[in-house]
Structure 1
Amino acid sequence: MTCPIPTEAAALPHTHGAQAPSAWIARFAHLVRPGGTVLDIACGLGRHMRLFHAQNYVVTGIDKAQDAIEAVADLGQAIQADIENQAWPLAGRSFDGVVVTNYLWRPLWPQILACVRPGGVLLYETFAQGNEAYGKPSRPDFLLAPGELLEVCKGWTVVAYEHGLLQQPERVVQRIAAIKPGEAAAPAKLLS
């Protein structure tokens, strides 16, 4: 059983990255240290890179598709890499914010978490169990189990977490905004 989640502001077209930023990512973007560095994993055509770039963050995007990398090259560092089948190209680098949407490859959890600098923020939103009733993805390999992001971020400060049904289009997602333990460069500004 899933609980309804408020509807996203804009409907999602078929091209990943061409649509408006995720309402979840936009809502919690302020948690990332102002002027800091942001990594967008599986960035697509850069909807979240554009969001952060417009707010004067230093952005890096990584994607397997050449057209995606070409679309974001003018925003910041654009890395073309098959992160599921090749070595992680960002070893030793860390960011004030790491964004992941509509992407799940569990073997990368250690690399994704390691990329978040102490005091940095992980903003993650992807499909979850229950989505199979609404379309693809429907394979369990690509659907988060209930509470999975909470388990992955165990020991972190969870600012917000949801698992439920979104509308337009209907889909089941799980999402989290979590701060990695450690000293932050500056206190995160909370919205009232």
Structure 2
Amino acid sequence: MQPSSWLVRHLKHIPRGGNVLDLACGTGRHTRHLLVEGFKVTAVDLDISGISDLESRDDCRILSTNLEDGNPWPFDELFEGIVVTNYLHRPLFGNITKSLSANGVLIYETYMVGNEQYGKPSNPDFLLKIDELRDVFGEPLNIISFNQGYVADPKPAMTQQICASN
């Protein structure tokens, strides 16, 4: 599967070779793209079976963890970039911001209210409110780009996208 066009468009804001956290990486479509582009990646998901082929790489650290079980945030280090796609667990917002290095860049995109008409997710707990990413990350960070509304690719959906720097 191809990387998100939002990610591809905004990768230029993260210094090449920088450490990037791919949060809730799933099968690793963004982890793989980041590695090809020369980044060092920490790939995190509860189920890492889709990225187990990357475990032997020196430029990729893989961590299997449940980010929603109330345990402490598993990262002490700072990242030049943090990527979050199609994942929402609001209690992590503060940790995401605190884990960005000086001039670190957040690239975040996920579903928002209105997505119910296009399919899953449809549970309000997993849908951003209007302007939520801008409201949450716009104060501690500097917004580079923000978008929300209907997208046709890779499938029809209502999404919200932000790229912001520390």
* TM-score, normalisation: structure 2: 0.92
> Who is 1:134 aligned against?
118
Structure 2 residue aligned with 1:161: 146
Alignment of 1:12-161 (within 5 A): 19-75=1-57, 76-85=60-69, 86-90=71-75, 92-155=76-139, 156-161=141-146
* TM-superposed deviation, 1:45: 1.4
Aligned pairs, number: 161
* Residues 60 and 176 of structure 1, relative CA distance in 2, 3 Å threshold: same
Structure with higher helix content: 2
Shift of residue 68 of structure 1? 3.1
Q: CA deviation at 1:72?
A: 3.6
CA contact (8 A) 1:46 1:72 kept: no
Equivalent residue for 1:170? 156
| Structure 1 spans left out of the alignment, 5+ residues | 1-18, 181-192
User: SS where residue 144 of structure 1 aligns?
Assistant: coil
Q: Is the 8 A contact 1:40 1:100 kept in 2?
A: yes
Aligned to 2:38, the other structure's residue is in SS state coil
* CA RMSD, 1 decimal: 1.3
Q: Deviations for 1:58-82, whole angstroms, at most 9, x for unmatched residues?
A: 1110000031341442450000000
Larger RCO (CA under 8 A, 6+ residues apart): 1
Instruction: Tell me the alpha carbon deviations over residues 22-63 of structure 1, each in whole angstroms, 9 at most, x when there is no partner.
Output: 000010001001211110000111111111111211111000
Alpha-carbon distance in structure 2 between the residues aligned to 1:52 and 1:66: 17
Q: TM-score, normalised by structure 1?
A: 0.80
Q: 1:50 to 1:74 in 2, by over 3 A?
A: farther
Structure 2, unaligned runs of 5 or more: none
Distance 2:49 2:157 in 1: 26
